[in-house]
Amino acid sequence: MRERNKLQKRRRIYQVARRLFEKQGYDSTTMRQIARAADVGEGTVFLYAKDKRELLFRIFKDDLAAVFESAFKEVPANASLLDQLVSFTTPLYRFLQPHGALARIMVRENFNLTGPASEEVAGLRMNITDKIARLLQDAQRRAEVRRDVEMSKLVDAIWAVVRFYTDDWLGERKPVLAEGVARLRTGLSLLVEGISAEAALRRSRAGASGT
């Protein structure tokens, strides 16, 4: 009973915080206002998050993890790496779009988390990048991606592209899903072309013919 009450209280705090953040803005909302609206003591809110930054992350964390888990399962096995990456990341855009400016703040503020929350951010990112690595490894087995570059560097490059285009898209006043995904696809296509095994072979042949 005690655990169920704690879970219900946490859920209520998160729901109230999200509503206030979206209604009156992240910067204008205080932890005291959240506590009052959730009908709990201010100290209770701090039991679940040490500040607004951490609270915002916790509001989205479980949903984000579920989005990527579901997206990975739906990636078409026989598609090209580019199509797989777009398939994997599109659900993220679909999830973030309704939250607009709040989603952008959440993405930005994650960089500044400390303590246990920062470890949770790292764990979430590791879960995501592990899935990207698995897509890359499959592409290598299909001889679609070059093998002469360290896997961690390939993953970091792809994740950097995703983060850049996502942040840029969320910066728009009214992010349009189709436009955001189209731009992300363009950015990923440039990167995928650069790491493709075929492109590496062409460069190798060009270099050999020039000597």
Is residue 145 within 8 Å of residue 72, measured between CB atoms? no
Distance CA 59, CA 10 (A): 10
Identify the CA nearest to 128 among candidates 164, 161, 89, 76.
Answer: 89
Predicted confidence pLDDT, tens digits, the chain (211 residues): 677 778 888 889 999 999 999 899 899 999 999 999 999 999 999 988 888 888 998 888 888 999 999 999 999 999 999 999 999 999 999 999 988 788 888 877 776 677 788 888 889 999 999 999 999 999 999 999 999 989 999 999 999 999 999 999 998 888 999 999 999 999 999 999 988 877 555 545 555 555 5
CA–CA distance, 136 with 204 (Å, rounded to integer):
21
Q: Which residues pair with 171 in a beta bridge?
A: none
Which domains are delineated in the chain?
A: 1-48 (1.10.10.60), 51-209 (1.10.357.10)
What pTM does this model have?
Answer: 0.83
